[in-house]
Structures are given as C-alpha cells and as structure tokens.
Amino acid sequence: MSEQPPAVPRPPVAEACRVRVIVDTPQHSGLSGPLDYLSPHPLEAGTLVRVPLGRREVLGIVWDGGGEPGAGGEAPTPESLRAVIEVLDALPPVPRGWRELVDFAASYYQRGLGEVALAALAPELRQINGTQLARRLKRLRSRLSPGAEAPATAERPVPSEDQREVLQALSQSTPRVHLLHGLTGSGKTEVYLRESQRMLDAGRQALVLVPEINLTPQLEARFLERFPGRRVVSLHSGLTPALRLRHWLMALLGEADLVLGTRMAVFAPMPRLGLIVVDEEHDPSYKQQEGARYSARDLAVMRSRIEQIPVLLGSATPSLETWHNALPAAEGGAGRYSRLTLAHRIGGGALPAVRVVDMNRFPAKLLREQPVAPPLMDALRERLARGEQSLVFLNRRGYAPVLQCLECGWKSGCPNCSAWRVFHKQDRSLRCHHCGYTQTVPRACPECGNADIQPVGRGTERLEEQLAQSLLRADGSPARVGRIDADTTRERGKLEATLASVHAGDVDVLVGTQMVAKGHDFRRITLVAAVNSDSALFSSDFRAAERLYALLMQAAGRAGRDARHAGQSEMWVQTWSPQHSLYASLQRHDFPGFARGQLDERRIAGLPPFAHLALVRADARTQDAAQQWLAQASAWGSDLAASLGVVIYPAVPTPIQRVANVERAQMLVESASRPALQRFLAQWMPGLHALRTPRVLRWAVDVDPLAI
Ligand SMILES: [Zn+2]
Ligand SMILES: [Zn+2]
C-alpha cells in the first residue's frame, strides 16, 4: 500500500468562512437582502462589522442564516467574495429579538432590511472604527458608577383604588398587550412607574415611549427621582450624536435599566427587556412619515410578542384600532388586548364641564371684529376678574391664513404650492408653511395695484393681539396674553420661559396651537377654549373626528388639575356644526360612546380597523406623469390583486396637490384581510421597482397610512 500523499496545505480562502452581512444599500439597487463576505472565523449573528461595499467601507451587521446563499441568488464561490475589514467585537452582538423586530419591520413596511437595520443603530456608529469605539466604551465604563448598592427606593404615593386594581391585574397576567385607558390626571404615569419598578426589581430592563421630545425631560426627571441608583437614559433626535451613541451603547450593554424615548427608541437594543410602555399611544407622531414609514406603537406590540413580554398602551382617547382590539367580542370588538381602566382623576378633581358654542347664532361681521364669540368673551372676563388663567387654543399659527385684495380678489397664494401663504405680522412676511417660500408683504396688490390688501381669517398671532386689545384686568390694565406656537418657541429655551411665566401667574390668557395641549401641566388654568376646532372635521381625512376628539379631550385635561378650582373649570368649544355627535360625546366625557359611533361608521365604510390600507404615492414634475406611473403600477398588479381579494383604487392628486413645484398623486390599496394585503405587497413591490420610471419621479409605499 502506497503512502497517502502528504496533505496539501489548504489555501487560506477555504479556511475562511462565509458570513451574511446586511448593509444600507439603496432599495432600488436590488441588493436589499444580506450580502456575503469572508471572515477568518465564524461570526455570531448580530455582530457589527465594517465591510467593503463598492469603493466604500461601510458598517454592517452579521445576519442570521450564515449557511445559505445571500441575496445574490446562487452561492458565490469563496474566491469571488471580499473579506470583512474589521469586526467590532468590543460590542456584544445586537440581540436576537432586535433582529427579529428589524426583519419584521422591513418586510411589513416594504423596505430594505439593511436600510431599516442600519437606521435603527446610533448614527455615530457609522463614523467610527473599532479603535475609536473601544476608546468610547472605555470612557463610558469609567464613567458608570461602580456597582451601585441595592438601589434605594424613593417614597411612593399610595396608589388609588383604580391603580391598585390595575396593578393587581398586571401582576397576575401572562405577558400580553394591555390598553391602559385612563383620563388625563387619573395616574397612568404612576402605573408605568410601578410596573417598571417591578421589572427592574426582577433584573429586567424597561422601555418607555413618549410622543414628543419636549415631554422626555419631565418624565426622565420623574423616573430618576423614583429610581435613585438606577440608570435611566433617553433616546431621541434632540441628543448630540455622541450622547445618543452613549445612551444606545448603555442600552445594548444592559447598563441602562430604563430607556425613555420617542418613536425611534422602539428599536433600542435591550438584552434584558421586560416591559414596554407606549404613553399616549394614539398620538400621530408615533408614525414615521418618511423612509420606512413604521408605526412605533404597532412595532412595540410586535416587539412584545417577539420577546414574550407585556406592553402597556396608555391613553385617555385610544386610537380606534387599539380600542377595537381591546373591546371584548361581546361588545363587537376583537378581544385581542386586555383593557384596564382608570376611571377617576387623582384627588377627585372633576373633568371640566364642556360648553359648546353654536357659531351660527352670531352675525359674520361680529365674528370678524371680535376675537371670540360673545359668551366666551364674557367667560374669559369672569376668569380675569377672579384672577384665574385661561388657555385659548387655535391650531393655526401666523396672523392670518391668507391676505386678500378687496378690489380684484387676489389672494396670497404660493407660487410653488397649491396652498396659501400665511401672513405673519411680526416681520410683515408672507410665508408658505409647506415649502417655506417667504416674501415681504407687498405694499399694494400685485395684480391691480390697490393698496388695501386685508388679512382674512385668524391665526394665533392675530388672536393674541385681539385678545390683548379687548380684555382688561380688574385694575383696568390690559390683560397679559402669552402665546406658544412653533413661531414663538423657535429659539432655544423660549418654550420653557413662557411656560415658567404661565406657572408664575404672569400670564392671564395663554394662546397656543396643539403644542400646548400635550402634557404640560397648568395648575391654575380654569378655562380652556378651542376657538376653531371643526375646521379639521371638514378635511378628507377619515381620522379627522377621532383626532379632534383626542385633541379636545387632551386640551380639556389642561384645565382644573388643581382641586381647588376643579369644580368651576370649563372647556369651551366654538363650532359651526354643533349637531355633530362628537360634541355630544365630549359633553358627556363618553369616549366609549364616541368610539362606538365611529367604529360603526368605519365598519359600514370599510375603513380601518375593518379594512387594511396601503398608500402608494408618486411625486413628479407634472400631475399627469405621477398619475400615469401609478396607473402603470396598478395595471401591473391588477390580476394579482383580484386573485387575492385586494382592491387598487384609481390614482388621485394628494390633498395638497403641489408642494415646492412637485406634483403629487396617490393610489389607495385596500383589503379586508391584512395577510392578503401583505402577500399582495410582497409580490407586487419587486415589480414596481422594475417598472420603467422617469428619472424625476419618486415613489414610496406607506403601509397603514395615517391619512388618505
Ligand atoms: Zn387687487
Ligand atoms: Zn409653498
């Protein structure tokens, strides 16, 4: 027997293993799945790496399923693969639950996996290499206080009976989705705090989502005060890149016990996650409006399923989708979530009495001259005489929504958009709130030369001016009127300053947009008025009534937080359609009744939650081009749609058809079955990417759009 030939040393390439890595590739490149690279040794899924991509070096994440071929289709030979440049092994891999969430989000919202995953990392990670990362980690660890003793528990308020029942139900429940339905001031935050405490004590992490950056410092302070010795970090777009990376790293390393943040925080990597809270779950800002148009609320629910942990959705006015899911089958609901109710305000404060003012009763001339209807004016004067504060709410900033020439009818349109330019008196400008186009107000009508051009309608700036002119304090001096809107709070610290002067009692009447309706706690305000609420009711948005109800309830919640004034606090609503059922429900503070009526309408009309929608939008130079592309897309999908029971509606212009000289059109896709819609989109989308598309045309799909 001849001897075996001596073993030939294997070439290094064969020794290396193939790893699948996702990187942020443009969705239209066809490279949206993982790409194959070579690594000298196996890499665990979730490991962050730097890899070559074309001529660039980019950040990537090792993805699951190392054995199968990547997005290229056939398994490439090892020789053709490029090598991983650097393994960022100073970091633990991102957890499996996180990867599953990203997988779900990419496929559900029809975006590239790499795009969604990389956008969910701290942006600063793309800028630094392994050495720099190691240095940051070293600095981070040196800053963390060494193993704190068993954390001292701060004093906690005694829970109300409502709260006790809710907490008991939560402690006995298996992990699931809970709707925490509670009035403003009923103590939802205390439930969040106690549930978080329970999880932290069990060695888990908690994630708390809030709709607005402005609300994070308040809540952060409250959590820190309650959990001394625990690490609470925030995640939102207002942080510096370095701080955002630090907080993100603390979450991933398990060093942060509690992460508090806006919608982006739903992707915080947390290896010991035990609870998710979504406060004000109905708030539209949980929906991302560009890129992957995800709903952080819906992803939180999905994440809780993936991780087998409870999620608490809190609201005084839940979204109708959530309400329907939490309604027992016996009441016509889906019975998927548990419903927990906090029916009483802490301290027994009553909700303000709601007064509806029928604006049809007053002559138009009077309403043009006076800032608000006479009975509301009287009510404001009464407050002034008693030294109490009022909040007047108008969701339209600027002085007047349009300027008009009384001679020839010219109006201050925007040359780039199908919208009016708003008159701002402070700097005498005409500004388009859609494209930003700004000009000084012309001295005379640009059409006919008439010098008499008039503001039409009323924005917060004019309301502030008119109220200051018509209201006097008890001592005869003019009323002190403050204003909070996007114009007055642009400067850093301005919002806080105005809020402080309200709290100090230096403001008699506060005028504001919906900015003031959210979260801010005004102890001394006893009257809240919404002066032009139902402009929203006449929009094409099927969620208009739901939104308005939520906004009015939230605004009402600003009044009478102080028990001393609770009995006399009022909410005033001026409306031209007082017969709308919304106002009757509002007066009874009857959200369930309101929701029942709305859900009945939605059921009949075939709208969410009884139908599932996707919106395809196309932007182009001309309306024709945009609609033509959509028609092409529709034709391509029509057979498939019919076979799956999916309806594609004809393309139409968007509600604001032209913005910044771009024409916009949209097309609604609808199905009674969510899985059918998902199957359709999954098969239809690749074809849309392959359609002949003019260079100047942009298109995008929005699954579960907020407005249609
Ligand atoms: Zn004119
Ligand atoms: Zn414009």
Share of residues in the chain with pLDDT > 70 (%):
92
**Closest ligand (CA of 447):** 1
Q: Does residue 566 register a pLDDT over 60?
A: no
Q: What is the mean pLDDT of residues 289-314?
A: 96
- Give the pLDDT mean for 399-415: 94
Q: What angle do the packed helices 581-588 and 591-605 form, to 10 degrees? A: 150
Residue 310 pLDDT greater than 50, yes or no: yes
706 Cβ contact partners less than 8 Å away, ≥ 6 residues apart = 284, 287, 543
What SS3 class is residue 482?
A: strand
**What single letter denotes the amino acid at residue 344?**
H
Summarize pLDDT for 342-364 with one digit per residue, the tens. 988 887 677 889 999 999 999 99
Query: Could you tell me the two tokens for 708?
Result: 């249609």
Alpha-helical (H) ranges within 313-411 are 320-326, 364-369, 374-386
pLDDT tens, residue by residue, 209-236: 999 887 778 788 888 889 988 999 999 9
Residue 67 has pLDDT above 70, yes or no: no
Instruction: Specify the DSSP class assigned to residue 478.
Output: B
Task: Say if strands 56-62 and 17-22 run parallel, antiparallel, or are unpaired.
Answer: antiparallel
Task: Summarize pLDDT for 110-137 with one digit per residue, the tens.
Answer: 999 999 999 999 999 999 999 999 999 9
Tokens representing residue 519 in the block: 């979260």
HSE-CB for 694 with a 13 A CA cutoff: 15
Residues 6+ apart with CB under 8 A from 355: 375, 379, 570, 571, 572, 573
Position 72 scores a pLDDT of 44
Q: Is 320 exposed, middle or buried, given 0-12, 13-18 or 19+ CB atoms closer than 10 A?
A: buried
- Mean pLDDT on 324-337: 94
Q: Which ligand is nearest to the CA of 658?
A: 2
pLDDT reported for residue 152: 57
Distance 444 CA to ligand 1 centre (A): 8
Which ligand has the minimum distance to the alpha carbon of residue 422? Answer: 2
CA distances, 108 to each of 35, 50, 321, 337, 483 (Å): 21, 27, 17, 21, 42
Position 425 pLDDT exceeds 90: yes
- Measured between its terminal Cα atoms, the distance across the chain in Å is 81
For 277-292, what is each residue's pLDDT tens digit?
A: 999 999 999 999 988 9
Of the ligands numbered here, which is closest to the C-alpha atom of 454?
1
Among residues 40, 31, 80, which one has the least CA distance to residue 60?
31
Residue 478 pLDDT exceeds 70: yes
Tell how far the Cα of 424 is from the centroid of ligand 2, in angstroms.
Answer: 15
SS3 category, 79: helix
pLDDT of 522 strictly over 80: no
pLDDT at 214: 75
Q: What are the backbone dihedrals phi and psi of residue 300, each rounded to the nearest 5 degrees, phi first?
A: -65, -40
Q: What DSSP letter does each residue of 543-563 carry, written as one string?
A: THHHHHHHHHHHHHTTS--SH
With a cut of 90, say whether residue 624 has pLDDT above it: yes
In which band, very low, low, confident or very high, does the pLDDT at 11 lie, cut at 50, 70 and 90? very low
Query: Closest ligand to 661 CA?
Result: 2
Residue 205 has pLDDT above 50, yes or no: yes
**27 CA to middle of ligand 2, Å?**
29
Cβ-based neighbours of 197, under 8 Å, separated by 6 or more:
153, 226, 227
Could you tell me the distance, in angstroms and rounded to a whole number, from the CA of residue 400 to the centre of ligand 1? Answer: 18
How far does residue 409's CA lie from ligand 1's centre (Å)? Answer: 6
User: Per-residue pLDDT averaged across 575-596, rounded?
Assistant: 93
Cβ atoms within 10 Å, residue 434: 17
Residue 410 CA to ligand 1 center (angstroms) comes to 5
Higher-confidence position of 536 and 337: 337
Amino acid making up residue 255: E
- Find the ligand nearest to 404 CA: 1
Per-residue HEC secondary structure of 587-648 comes to: HHCCHHHHHHHHHHHHHHHCCCCCCEEEEEEEEECCHHHHHHHHHHHHHHHHHHHHHHCEEE
Centre of ligand 2 to C-alpha 664, Å, is 14
Highest mean pLDDT among 3-7, 127-131, 301-305: 301-305
Nearest-ligand number for the alpha carbon of 449:
1
- Measured from the alpha carbon of residue 451, the closest ligand is 1
pLDDT at 407: 92
Neighbours of ion ligand 1 (CB under 5 A): 405, 407-408, 410, 445, 447-448, 450
Say how far apart CA 312 and CA 182 lie, in whole Å: 12
662 C-alpha to center of ligand 2: Å?
10
Stretch among 11-20, 166-175, 439-448, 524-533 having the lowest mean pLDDT: 11-20
Of 200-214, 222-236, 522-536, least confident by mean pLDDT is 522-536
Q: Which ligand is nearest to the CA of 446?
A: 1
pLDDT at 184: 82
**Which residue type sits at 509?**
V
Contact 44/20 with Cβ under 8 angstroms? no
Q: What is the pTM of this model?
A: 0.91
How far is ligand 1, taken at its centre, from the CA of residue 452, in Å?
8
From the list 346, 348, 334, the residue with the least C-alpha distance to 301 is 334
Q: What spacing in Å lies between the alpha carbon of 367 and ligand 1's midpoint?
A: 25
Query: How many A from CA of 707 to the centre of ligand 2?
Result: 21
Between the CA of 486 and the centroid of ligand 2 the distance, in Å, is: 18
Q: Average model confidence (pLDDT) for the chain?
A: 89
pLDDT for 567: 63
- In tens, the pLDDT along 169-200 reads 999 988 899 999 998 888 999 999 999 999 99
602 vs 672: CA distance, rounded Å: 12
Range with the lowest mean pLDDT among 487-491, 509-513, 597-601?
Answer: 487-491
Residue 231 CA to ligand 2 center (angstroms) comes to 45
Residue 479, both tokens: 């009323």
Check residue 23 and report its DSSP letter: -
Calculate how far, in angstroms, residue 408's C-alpha sits from the geometric centre of ligand 1: 4
CB 103, CB 279: distance < 8 Å: no
pLDDT band at 150, cuts 50/70/90?
low
What is the Å distance from ligand 2's center to 28 Cα? Answer: 29
Per-residue model confidence as pLDDT tens digits over 360-403:
999 999 998 899 999 999 999 999 998 899 999 998 999 999 99
Whether residue 1 is predicted with pLDDT greater than 50 in this model: the reply is no
Return the pLDDT at 564: 59
pLDDT in tens, 633-642: 999 999 999 9
CA of 414 to the centre of ligand 2 (A): 5
Query: Which ligand has an atom closest to residue 416 CA?
Result: 2
Q: What is the pLDDT of residues 646-671, one digit of tens each?
A: 999 999 999 899 999 999 999 999 99
